[in-house]
Amino acid sequence: MFTGIIHHIGRIESAQTQGDLKLTIACDWPESSLALGESIACNGACLTIIEKGTLPSGKSFFTVELSAETLTCTAPRWKQGDALNLERAMKLGDTLDGHMVSGHVDGIATIHSVTDSGDSHIVAIDAPAALSCYIAEKGSVTLDGVSLTVNKVEASRFYVNIIPHTWKVTTLGQRKAGDNINIEIDLIARYVARLLGRKETDHAA
């Protein structure tokens, strides 16, 4: 599990297709702190460390593999040089500063517009139609791994306000209208909808 609070931005050093897509990602964590089998959220996708080490530059790296299923469900931002929002998995006793995030990307949304609002930015997002029913005003949503609060909902379009700090320390500040972005709906919304669906089915039966 994750919180949607980004620890820092990593960068893809290499991307190789060997059956699955294998990525080597440079990061600021000491190599000694990384563990094989550890889960890392990369742009919101929970991936597993299969290798680790130190680059000639002195930066640490870890290697992950992306299956065809992961590539289908995520925005195509897995090339050499691409920047990624990184978050390590929660530990028992950690503070939940964002919201509960599984790291299982539900689909790909599209940025409709980015508008300045004081020092902040209002970003309008077009969600996939199948996911729009899970997005509620003042609810939570995860975009490229970042926990955000929904300000307003208009059909399948919703709006988030991104403060300067988040704009600076995540890759969201690099995004523009027309860009695709990973979206994970709120876990609570998912299970409430499932529960209500079962009740309606049971009642109809």
Model confidence pLDDT, tens digit, residues 129-150: 999 999 999 999 999 999 999 9
Contact present, 85 and 13 (Cβ < 8 Å): no
Together in a domain, 36 and 77: yes
**Is there a domain that residue 201 lies in?**
no
Mean pLDDT of the chain: 92
**pLDDT in the model for residue 198:** 52
* The two structure tokens encoding residue 158: 């919703």
**Is there a domain that residue 202 lies in?**
no
Model confidence pLDDT, tens digit, residues 8-34: 999 999 999 988 999 999 999 999 999
Number of structural domains found in the chain: 2
Residue ranges making up the domain that contains 70: 8-88
The confidence band for 109, taking pLDDT boundaries of 50, 70 and 90, is very high
Together in a domain, 133 and 169: yes
Together in a domain, 124 and 70: no
**For residue 117, what are the contacts with CB-CB under 8 A and spacing of at least 6?**
161
**Is there a domain that residue 101 lies in?**
no
How far apart (Å, rounded) are the C-alpha atoms in residues 86 and 67? 19
Q: What is the pTM of this model?
A: 0.91
